[in-house]
């Protein structure tokens, strides 16, 4: 009992403190007209090393309240490390950060929260089977006498916050019943309830649809108006120009520049990030000019979310599959690869009809698939690069069940060299590589299997600009070797820039076919939204 | 981001690099702590028992007490690496011990009875695997059920009473010696050697790691995860059955209450040996080290006349100590 009271009094007094602070701030704003007391976040000479690599090297910059500051850079530039230092996960080797001019020593995430820092990660950190209110008030659930949860009070206070955010959800709903976007909103509300001075977003839009992204941006806009400092980490250029006020560029752990978003452009940013101009990477690609005969033919394929899909793919061709998320592209490919069952339809490889019941069958028939979700479906994180590369060819690598290790090493080394995987040895755990290098290892896995058809599902998802252009060239090289490549991508520029032919899907059907020369973003989008525009 | 990716892998390695690599592997090896622990146990008990500990006879004693747990530990090691676990070995061993005793009492020849019982063990493994693969039961739940079923059946088929065996050949299986080495120890060492090679050098062994590391990715790379799991469950149950028969031979009777907790001893040894419960990581050599530490420690306590209840307590303490050591070392390395 005593403890409860103490705790309540503590919370209460903190609330009052905060209120006074806010009132003071408002008074200053109204009184002096223009002289606004804004909170500041300053990084001073942050340095952090890990064995073999200097993740951050003397990074200093400032951010002000009421502004969204983008943090950009390639994978490995140091963005995540900086966020982890901010929230107390890592301790810097040198330097510190200051909030409102006060030094903060956040030794744990808990201390960081108390200092007013909140980091919202790509992966949701909500508890699915608890209610929205319970999630928002996670560590400060209001309790009544005898320490039982006061649900009325809890739900009332949670609903207040929800209303403040103008969201159409109820405090009593279970979080697992919400869409991904609203789950993220719950997380934001949880942070907001702690009255933070800084909220950092790490790739917040990675798994959101366009409509959901708009909701998120509305909320970020609101948070900004409340004077909160917002750090925004994203690979998506479009978003950076849409919502941020300033951009901080990091490269190889070093601070490169801090610019006003309004006074820069995409090309300049990319140039600063990678140190070279990638403005027209697609024009520079060495493409395959020799497209051969048909290698894969799919007729009337029907599966879950796949409605009567027919198409063909030729040798050396790069065939793009465009469409919105949920259009049935991934499902089509999984059915062709045998990862999911298909109800009906026929698949021909080199003119021969084949039965595919499992990925094993597909691989035997020369079909390979790099799945969309690299972490959950592609890599075996705790094993080495060598074992990850040889995974699909173990059968041909072994004699009477025994693996030929020297041949295995040879193939792994060849894969690592051919695709320019950056690693000290082929025994390094694949989970410790950057996203781009992981993807190259997965590509090497399939190339070792000598496929006739290679299906790539979102091959550059979550990969930095530099590695992306490398992967585009690898894809073109594969086409030159006569492999038929199918590429699913939600990034239009990449579909338009890399593919010879584009099929657009919408709601499980193919709604159109565009040749490289005639394809434009508008045409693809029109076909991708065929259902919303009324028939096709 | 944490990784050092500055250099591109160079294919050639000089002899000097190889030597350096060898020492680096020893000092950064997960096994270093285990080897030190084993040495410590040998030294400390040798001093405490006045040099009676590290003698040929006592080493054989330790190996005898390890043999049956060891057989089951081979199976559990494969299972845990593949992300599974089996709780039924103790029951299967007891059931098999009783079954083989009954068959022998009915006049079956040992060379018919023993293979039949081991084959039936394989069938139990198939049952476990089917529950996991087809009914999608958690391995813990599925094998908890079969554990209960076969413990019960062990009592039922013998009416709750021990079945005595007089078959001389069979008794030899439990207590006989070849060149002074007890037969159970020979069986255990041979099996260990064979299964170390299978795990580290064959395609099947590699699949065990891959299925444990990421079953979805393994399936999408053409590995039949269900098939791999089925094989491992069958191996484990076959070893349990074999262990149960050896146990019956040692006790010259099939006892329905025997081998209680056998699976936990085996899993303790496996985990002690650095096999991660999350799957995908570990070696059978490590499990062997874990087993030797566990049994060596127990044997030492027994020689010191420490009551057996304290041995049970010490087993838990040992496990916690070993895992804490690993934890601290990993944390230091990651910092």
pLDDT 10s digits, B91-128: 999 999 999 999 999 989 999 999 999 999 999 999 99
Distance of alpha carbon A405 from alpha carbon A294, whole angstroms: 36
CATH assignment at residue A522: 3.40.50.300
Angle between helix B183-201 and helix B225-251 axes, rounded to 10 deg: 170
* A102 within domain boundaries: yes
Give the DSSP letter string of B253-322. EE-TTTTTTHHHHHHHHHHHTT--TTSS---HHHHHHHHHHHHHHHHHHHHTT--HHHHHHHHHHHHHHH
**Which residue in B237, B221, B190 sits closest to B84, CA to CA?**
B237
Percent above pLDDT 90 for chain A: 31
* A282 inside domain: no
pLDDT at A21: 60
Q: What average pLDDT does the segment A514-532 reach? A: 81
ipTM above 0.85, yes or no: no
Distance CA A297, CA A405 (A): 37
CA-based nearest residue in chain A for residue B335: A50
The answer to whether B220 contacts A377, with C-beta atoms less than 8 Å apart, is yes
Residue A141: which domain range? 2-274
Alpha-carbon distance of A76 to B1, in angstroms, equals: 5
What pLDDT is recorded for position A200? 92
pLDDT grade for A462, boundaries at 50, 70 and 90: confident
pLDDT confidence bin for A126, thresholds 50/70/90: confident
Higher pLDDT: B26 or A155? It is A155
How distant is the Cα of A88 from the closest Cα of chain B, in angstroms? 14
Dihedral of CA atoms B43, B49, B54, B55 in degrees, nearest 10, equals: 160
Question: Which residue among B1, B9, B216 places its CB closest to the CB of A55?
Answer: B1
Top residue of A424, A427, A455 to mutate, by most chain B CBs within 10 Å, is A424
Is A284 a member of any domain?
A: no
DSSP string, B8-24: PPPS---HHHHHHHHHH
- How far, rounded to the nearest angstrom, does the alpha carbon of residue B35 sit from its chain's CA centroid? 18
Q: How close, in Å, is residue B74 to chain A by CA atoms?
A: 19
Instruction: Give the per-residue pLDDT at B220.
Output: 92
Domain shared by A399 and A339, yes or no: no
Is the distance from CB of A111 to CB of A99 less than 8 angstroms?
A: no
Cβ <8 Å between A339 and B219 = yes
Residue A11 pLDDT exceeds 60: no
Half-sphere exposure of A266 (CA within 13 A, CB side): 12
Determine, for residues A394 and B207 on separate chains, whether the beta-carbon distance falls below 8 Å.
yes
**A374 lies in some domain:** no
- pLDDT in the model for residue A76: 67
Confidence (pLDDT) at A1: 43
| Cβ contacts of B199 within 8 Å, gap of 6 or more | B77, B78, B81, B205, B208, B283, B284
| Domain C-terminal end among A415, A449, A483 | A449
Highest mean pLDDT out of A116-130, A256-270, B279-293? B279-293
Indicate the pairing of strand A294-303 with strand A344-349: antiparallel
- Chain A nearest C-alpha distance from B222 (Å): 4
Question: For A404, which residue in chain B has the nearest alpha carbon?
Answer: B201
DSSP string for residues in A348-396: EETTEEE--SSHHHHHHTTEEEE-S-IIIII--TTSBHHHHHHGGGHHH
Phi, psi for residue A312 in degrees, rounded to 5: -135, 155
Domains: count for chain A? 3
The label of the residue with tokens 């994978």 reads A75
d(CA B240, CA B73): 9
Residues A317 and A332 in one domain: yes
How many other β-carbons are positioned within 10 Å of the β-carbon of residue B132?
22
CB contacts, 8 Å: B8 with chain A: 416-417, 420-423
Contact (CB<8Å) A55/B204: no
User: Which residue in the set A55, A405, A424 is minimally distant from B9, CB to CB?
Assistant: A424
Boundary residue ending a domain (A393, A425, A449): A449
Instruction: Please report the pLDDT score of residue A33 as a whole number.
Output: 41
How many Å is the Cα radius of gyration of chain B?
A: 21
A11 and A131 assigned to the same domain: yes
What is the average per-residue pLDDT within A163-167?
Answer: 84
Q: What is the distance between the alpha carbons of residues B88 and B124, in angstroms, rounded to a whole number?
A: 9
Q: What is the pLDDT of residue A30?
A: 46
Q: How confident is the model at residue B313 (pLDDT cuts 50, 70, 90)?
A: confident
In DSSP notation, A419-476 reads TT---S-TTSBGGGS-HHHHHHHHHHHHHHT--SEEEEESTTTT--HHHHHHHHHHHH
Of the three residues A416, A449, A482, the one that is the final residue of a domain is A449
Q: What is the pLDDT of residue A10?
A: 54
Task: Identify the sign of the CA torsion B174, B176, B178, B182.
Answer: positive
How confident is the model over A87-98, as a mean pLDDT? 87
Statement to judge: residues A327 and A215 lie in one domain: no
Q: Which residues of B touch A391 (CB under 8 A)?
A: 210, 217-218, 221, 223
Give the CA-trace dihedral at A324, A329, A330, A333, to 10 degrees: -170
pLDDT, residue B140, reads: 94
Q: Is the dihedral of CA A281, A286, A289, A290 positive or negative?
A: negative
Lowest mean pLDDT segment, chosen from A480-484, A529-533, B154-158, B249-253: A529-533
Dist. CA B20–CA A223, nearest whole Å: 55
CA of A532, closest CA in chain B: separation in Å? 34
Distance CA A335, CA A143 (A): 52
Residues A306-333 have pLDDT tens digits of 999 999 999 999 999 998 777 889 999 9
Chain A nearest-CA distance from B38, in A, is 27
Question: What would the pLDDT profile of B196-225 be if each residue is shown by its tens digit?
Answer: 999 999 999 999 999 999 999 999 999 999
- In a mutagenesis test of the B interface, which of A375, A382, A457 is the best target, namely the one with the most B β-carbons within 10 Å? A382
Contact B7 A391 (CB under 8 A): no
pLDDT of residue A471 exceeding 60, the answer is yes
Count CB neighbours of A1 within 10 A: 8
Residue B137 is classified by DSSP as -
pLDDT at residue A315, as a whole number: 92
Judge if A219 and A347 occupy the same domain: no
B90 or A177, which is more confident: B90
- All residues of chain A having their beta carbon less than 8 Å from the beta carbon of residue B282 are none
- Tell whether A340 and A408 lie within a shared domain: no
Q: Please answer yes or no on whether B223 and A391 come within 8 Å at the CB atom.
A: yes
Taking the C-alpha atoms of residue B43 and residue B300, their distance in angstroms, rounded to an integer, is 11
Are A268 and A349 found together in one domain?
no
Report the pLDDT value the prediction gives residue A408, as an integer from 0 to 100: 93
A132: phi then psi, degrees, rounded to nearest 5: -55, -45
The domains located in chain B, with CATH, are 53-334 (1.10.3470)
Question: Which carries the bigger pLDDT value, residue A180 or residue A198?
Answer: A198
Assigned domain for A420 exists: yes
Q: Across residues A396-413, what is the average pLDDT?
A: 91
The predicted pLDDT at position B10 comes to: 44
Say whether A426 and B9 touch across the interface (CB within 8 A).
Answer: yes
Residues A433 and A479 in one domain: no
Of A187 and B4, which is predicted with more confidence?
Answer: A187
In a domain, A358, yes or no: yes
Q: Using 50, 70 and 90 to split pLDDT, how confident is the model at B329? A: low
What number is the average pLDDT over the span A115-124?
Answer: 82
Beta bridge partners, A143, equal: A149
**CA–CA dist A376, B153 (Å, integer):** 41
pLDDT value for B2 = 40
Residue of A453, B30, A455, A452 lying closest to A442 (CA atoms) = A455
Task: For residues A281 and A474, give the distance between their C-alpha atoms in angstroms, rounded to a whole number.
Answer: 13
Smallest CA–CA distance, residue A20 to chain B, in Å, is 41
Q: How confident is the model at residue A22 (pLDDT cuts 50, 70, 90)?
A: low
- For B2, which residue in chain A has the nearest alpha carbon? A50
Per-residue confidence (pLDDT) for residue B241, from 0 to 100: 96
For residue B34, give the nearest of B333, B331, B213, B287 by alpha carbon: B287
Q: Is residue A118 part of a domain?
A: yes
Nearest residue to A315 (alpha-carbon basis) of A337, A338, A335, A297: A297
How confident is the model at residue B3, as a pLDDT?
41
Residues A360 and A236 in one domain: no
A460 and A534 fall within a common domain: yes
Looking up tokens 């934001």, which residue turns up?
A: A188
Backbone angles phi, psi at A177, to 5 degrees: -85, -5
Tell me, what's the pLDDT at B11? Answer: 45
Cβ contact, residue pair B1, A395, below 8 Å: no
Main-chain phi, psi angles of B165, to 5 degrees: -120, 140
Q: Do B11 and A417 touch (CB under 8 A)?
A: yes
Instruction: Please indicate whether, in this complex, the C-beta atoms of B4 and A80 are within 8 angstroms of each other.
Output: no
Residues of B in contact with A422 (CB under 8 A): 5-8
If you measure CA to CA, which chain B residue comes closest to A430? B3
Average pLDDT score, chain A = 84
A157/A303 same-domain check: no
A285 within a domain of the structure (yes/no): no
Contacts across the A-B interface (CB distance below 8 Å) = 132
Residues A143 and A252 in one domain: yes
Q: Do A70 and A266 touch, CB atoms closer than 8 A?
A: no
């Amino acid at each position: 009992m005593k403890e409860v009271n103490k705790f309540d009094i503590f919370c209460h007094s903190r609330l009052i403190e905060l209120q006074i602070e806010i009132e003071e701030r408002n008074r200053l704003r109204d009184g002096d007209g223009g002289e606004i007391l804004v909170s500041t976040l300053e990084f001073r000479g942050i340095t952090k090393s890990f064995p073999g690599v200097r993740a951050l090297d003397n990074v200093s910059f400032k951010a002000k309240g009421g502004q969204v500051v983008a943090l950009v850079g390639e994978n490995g530039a140091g963005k995540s490390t900086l966020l982890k230092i901010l929230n107390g996960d890592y301790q810097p080797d040198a330097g510190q950060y200051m909030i409102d001019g006060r030094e903060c020593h956040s030794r744990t995430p808990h201390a960081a929260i108390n200092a007013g820092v909140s980091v919202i990660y790509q992966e949701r950190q909500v508890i699915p089977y608890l209610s929205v209110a319970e999630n928002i008030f996670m560590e400060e659930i209001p309790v009544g006498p005898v320490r039982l949860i006061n649900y009325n009070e809890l739900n009332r206070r949670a609903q207040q916050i929800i209303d403040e955010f103008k969201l159409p959800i109820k405090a009593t709903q279970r979080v697992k019943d919400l869409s991904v976007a609203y789950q993220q909103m719950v997380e934001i509300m949880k942070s907001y309830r702690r009255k933070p001075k800084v909220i950092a977003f790490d790739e917040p839009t990675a798994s959101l649809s366009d409509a959901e992204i708009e909701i998120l941006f509305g909320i970020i806009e609101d948070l900004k108006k409340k004077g909160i400092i917002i750090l925004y980490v994203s690979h998506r250029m479009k978003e950076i120009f849409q919502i941020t006020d300033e951009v901080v560029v990091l490269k190889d752990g070093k601070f490169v520049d801090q610019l006003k978003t309004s006074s820069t452009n995409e090309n300049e940013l990319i140039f600063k990030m990678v140190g070279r101009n990638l403005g027209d990477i697609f024009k520079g690609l060495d493409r395959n000019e020799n497209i051969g005969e048909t290698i894969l033919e799919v007729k009337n394929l029907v599966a879950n979310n796949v409605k009567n899909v027919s198409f063909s793919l030729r040798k050396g061709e790069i065939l793009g599959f465009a469409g919105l998320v949920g259009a049935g592209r991934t499902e089509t490919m999984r059915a062709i690869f045998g990862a999911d069952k298909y109800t009906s339809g026929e698949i021909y490889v080199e003119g021969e009809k084949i039965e595919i019941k499992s990925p094993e069958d597909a691989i035997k028939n020369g079909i390979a698939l790099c799945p969309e979700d690299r972490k959950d479906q592609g890599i075996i994180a705790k094993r080495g690069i060598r074992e990850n590369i040889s995974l699909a060819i173990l059968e041909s690598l072994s004699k009477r069940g025994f693996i030929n290790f020297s041949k295995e090493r040879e193939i792994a080394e060849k894969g690592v060299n051919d695709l320019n995987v950056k690693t000290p040895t082929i025994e390094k755990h694949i989970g410790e590589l950057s996203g781009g290098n992981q993807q190259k290892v997965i590509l090497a896995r399939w190339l070792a299997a000598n496929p006739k058809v290679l299906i790539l599902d979102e091959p550059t998802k979550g990969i930095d600009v530099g590695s992306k252009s490398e992967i585009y060239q690898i894809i073109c090289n594969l086409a030159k070797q006569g492999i038929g490549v199918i590429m699913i991508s939600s990034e239009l520029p990449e579909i338009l820039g890399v593919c010879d032919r584009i099929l657009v899907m919408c709601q499980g059907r193919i709604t159109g076919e565009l040749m490289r020369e005639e394809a434009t973003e508008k045409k693809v989008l029109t076909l991708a939204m065929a259902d919303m525009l009324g028939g096709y | 981001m944490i990784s050092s990716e500055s250099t591109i892998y160079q294919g050639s390695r000089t002899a000097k690099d190889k030597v350096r690599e060898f020492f680096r592997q020893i000092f950064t090896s997960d096994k270093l702590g285990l080897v030190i622990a084993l040495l410590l146990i040998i030294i400390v008990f040798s001093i405490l028992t006045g040099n009676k500990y590290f003698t040929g006879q006592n080493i054989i004693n330790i190996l005898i007490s390890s043999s049956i747990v060891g057989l089951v530990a081979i199976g559990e090691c494969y299972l845990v690496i593949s992300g599974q676990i089996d709780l039924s070995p103790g029951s299967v061993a007891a059931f098999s011990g009783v079954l083989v005793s009954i068959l022998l009492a009915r006049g079956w020849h040992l060379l018919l009875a023993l293979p039949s019982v081991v084959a039936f063990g394989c069938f139990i493994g198939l049952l476990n695997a089917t529950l996991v693969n087809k009914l999608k039961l958690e391995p813990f739940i599925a094998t908890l059920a079969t554990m209960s079923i076969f413990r019960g059946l062990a009592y039922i088929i013998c009416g709750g009473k021990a079945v005595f065996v007089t078959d001389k050949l069979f008794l030899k299986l439990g207590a006989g010696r070849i060149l002074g080495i007890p037969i159970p120890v020979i069986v255990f060492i041979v099996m260990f050697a064979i299964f170390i090679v299978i795990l580290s050098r064959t395609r099947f062994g590699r699949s065990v790691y891959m299925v444990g590391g990421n079953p979805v990715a393994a399936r999408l790379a053409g590995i039949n995860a269900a098939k791999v799991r089925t094989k491992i469950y069958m191996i484990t149950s076959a070893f349990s059955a074999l262990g149960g028969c050896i146990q019956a031979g040692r006790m010259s009777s099939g006892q329905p209450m025997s081998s209680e907790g056998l699976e936990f001893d085996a899993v303790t040894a496996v985990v002690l040996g650095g096999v991660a419960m999350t799957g995908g990581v570990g070696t059978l050599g490590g499990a062997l080290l874990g087993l030797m530490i566990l049994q060596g420690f127990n044997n030492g306590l027994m020689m010191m006349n420490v009551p057996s209840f304290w041995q049970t307590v010490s087993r838990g303490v040992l496990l916690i100590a070993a895992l804490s050591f690993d934890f601290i070392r990993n944390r230091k390395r990651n910092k």
